[in-house]
């Protein structure tokens, strides 16, 4: 059976292929069509060279919206240009000459001291003579170093040129394969930028030229252009900003004093209750309860290990401080969980609300602890309530994130089936969403507890008692033994809590 190809259809396909390439590349479509065919005909790397990409470099890649390649090439080219400019125009001996000037000032001072000592016939004349000899030798060595640096200029220029040519060669070799891959991505997704337009070309050229010229000028001619070496600002701007921030916090503290008082009392009530349980209760009861809870959650082996950890804390005198730490941690963790899980449930089906809350949580997690301790102290003072609030800010976000992640991971088919059988929203939440999202929610609770434990030492800076206080004292007085032993006690508290929360039973 013969299969004959229609010449008209084949000719039409070729025209369509050429038209698509012309639409994608805009300029010189015949060149790119032949190169794309050559690349597609080979299974490995096809050796083609694009002179335009080699000459324009990062500008060509930016014009084609290939910044993933353009930015690394731009950094390499800038480094090569800097080497060429340093060798041709830079003062390579500037640092050495600056050091010589400083030493000469010291040398002149020593010579005056020597003259005065000789005049007084003092006993320290040999000391000054040795110091002057040492400084003169240092100047001689640095002068030789400066001469060597100045003589290395041609080598630096040649190294920069060699690097620049190598980068240009790689740019020319990779341009066509990279553009061919982007072409096939464009065929399946027309939202990808294609062709050339004046705006993208001007942005690419302007960005590359600006970054290159400024970088080369800054490195080749250091301290010559004040605008490049120092940001154009004044102290008045910073002082004004500080004044405004202080005024805002003063107003918030005065107007919202009753709010912070209510929050402090609520935290204090929970904290006192947990301290009464952990610290006031006889140690035998607390230890038995923790061991039993670990056994029920994670098994007998975990319970035996938990008992060994508790014995470690007791025999080394860390029992009361460990229980205080657990009370502080428990307060922060309980409040974080009570607030975090309902907030995660509420945000899971409301993307707009979660998109508003997520940047706030990012801010809470990325802001250094010592920074957000400042407003906490301003609002709540020092002591355990402030330590609890600081711990909640740092460790309270994972439970929200993991709750949202777990609920969004519930298969829609299961939810639709439950709704089809008449499930109400409350039944759907209790019997479908929460059971399926439970592993993720438990992981969030675990992360919150672990992050809260990480704040034990930091919280001790603002008056929180417990094991963190021992570690802080060890840091202040370089007491290695005390710090290591207290650190292991904190580690064991974390391991016990982790086993209880993550227990498979």
pLDDT, tens only, 284-322 = 888 898 899 888 888 888 889 889 988 998 888 888 888
Which residue is it, tokens 């032949």? Answer: 34
First-to-final CA distance of the chain: 69
Give the model's pLDDT for residue 171: 93
Give the model's pLDDT for residue 77: 93
Separation between Cα atoms, residue 207 and residue 289, nearest integer Å? 65
Give the model's pLDDT for residue 9: 47
Give the model's pLDDT for residue 215: 87
Q: How much of the chain, in percent, has pLDDT values that exceed 90?
A: 12
The DSSP result for 82-151, as a single string, is HHHHHHHTS-TTHHHHHHHHHHHHHHHHHHHHHHHHHHHT-TTHHHHHHHHHHHHHHHHHHHHHHHHHHH
Tokens representing residue 278 in the block: 């952990």
Separation between Cα atoms, residue 75 and residue 83, nearest integer Å? 13
Tokens representing residue 175 in the block: 């341009």
Question: Averaged over 260-284, what is the pLDDT?
Answer: 83
In terms of residues, how long is the chain? Answer: 505
Nearest to 265 by CA among 371, 369, 381, 373: 381
Separation between Cα atoms, residue 253 and residue 374, nearest integer Å? 13
- Is 50 exceeded by the pLDDT of residue 159? yes
Mean pLDDT (the chain, rounded): 83
Give the model's pLDDT for residue 249: 82
pLDDT grade, residue 15 (50/70/90)?
A: low
Q: How much of the chain, in percent, has pLDDT values that exceed 70?
A: 96
Between helices 384-395 and 319-348, what is the axis angle to 10°? 50
Separation between Cα atoms, residue 491 and residue 502, nearest integer Å? 16
What pLDDT, in 10s, does the model give residues 406-419? 888 888 888 888 88
Higher pLDDT, 176 or 476: 176
pLDDT grade, residue 7 (50/70/90)?
A: very low
Give the model's pLDDT for residue 75: 93
Q: Which CATH superfamily is domain 257-502 in?
A: MetI-like (1.10.3720.10)
Q: Which residues contact 152 (CB under 8 A, 6 or more apart)?
A: 87, 92
Question: Averaged over 463-489, what is the pLDDT?
Answer: 81
Which residue is it, tokens 């009370």? Answer: 327
pLDDT grade, residue 13 (50/70/90)?
A: low
Nearest to 323 by CA among 270, 287, 375, 370: 287
């Amino acid at each position: 059976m013969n299969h004959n190809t229609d010449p008209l259809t084949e000719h039409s396909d070729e025209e369509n292929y050429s038209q698509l390439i012309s639409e994608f590349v805009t300029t010189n479509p015949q060149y790119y069509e032949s190169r794309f065919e050559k690349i597609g005909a080979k299974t490995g790397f096809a050796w083609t060279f694009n002179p335009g990409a080699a000459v324009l470099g990062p500008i060509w890649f930016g014009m084609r919206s290939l910044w993933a390649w353009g930015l690394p090439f731009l950094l390499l080219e800038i480094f090569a240009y800097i080497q060429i400019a340093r060798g041709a125009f830079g003062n390579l001996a500037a640092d050495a000459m600056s050091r010589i000037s400083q030493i000469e000032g010291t040398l002149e001072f020593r010579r005056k001291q020597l003259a005065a000592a000789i005049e007084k016939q003092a006993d320290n004349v040999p000391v000054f003579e040795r110091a002057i000899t040492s400084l003169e030798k240092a100047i001689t060595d640095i002068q030789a170093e400066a001469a060597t640096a100045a003589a290395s200029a041609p080598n630096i220029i040649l190294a920069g040129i060699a690097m620049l040519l190598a980068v240009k060669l790689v740019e020319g070799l990779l341009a066509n394969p990279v553009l061919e891959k982007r072409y096939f991505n464009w065929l399946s997704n027309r939202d990808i930028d294609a062709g050339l337009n004046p705006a993208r070309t001007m942005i690419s050229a302007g960005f590359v030229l600006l970054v290159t010229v400024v970088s080369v000028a800054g490195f080749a001619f250091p301290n010559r252009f004040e605008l490049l070496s120092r940001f154009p600002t004044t102290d008045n701007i910073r002082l004004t900003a500080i004044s405004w921030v202080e005024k805002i916090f003063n107003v918030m503290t005065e107007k919202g004093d009753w709010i912070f008082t209510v929050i402090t009392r609520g935290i204090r009530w929970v904290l006192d209750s947990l301290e009464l349980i952990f610290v006031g209760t006889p140690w035998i009861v607390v230890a038995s309860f923790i061991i039993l809870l670990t056994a029920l959650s994670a098994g007998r082996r975990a319970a035996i290990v938990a008992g060994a950890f508790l014995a470690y804390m007791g025999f080394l005198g860390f029992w009361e401080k460990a229980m205080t730490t657990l009370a502080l941690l428990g307060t922060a963790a309980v409040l974080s969980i009570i607030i975090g899980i309902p907030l995660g449930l509420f945000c899971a089906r409301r993307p707009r609300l979660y998109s508003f809350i997520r940047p706030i949580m990012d801010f809470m997690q990325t802001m250094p602890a010592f920074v957000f301790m400042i407003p906490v102290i301003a609002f709540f003072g020092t002591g355990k309530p402030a330590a609890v609030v600081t711990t909640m800010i740092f460790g309270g976000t994972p439970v929200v994130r993991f709750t949202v992640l777990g609920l969004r991971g519930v298969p829609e088919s299961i939810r639709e089936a439950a709704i089809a059988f008449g499930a109400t929203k409350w039944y759907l939440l209790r019997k479908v969403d929460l059971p399926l999202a439970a592993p993720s929610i438990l992981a969030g609770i675990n992360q919150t507890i672990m992050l809260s434990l990480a704040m034990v030492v930091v919280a001790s800076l603002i008056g929180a008692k417990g094991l963190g206080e021992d570690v802080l004292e060890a840091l202040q007085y370089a007491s290695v033994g005390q710090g290591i032993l207290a650190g292991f006690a904190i580690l064991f508290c974390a391991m016990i809590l982790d086993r209880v929360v993550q227990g498979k039973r």
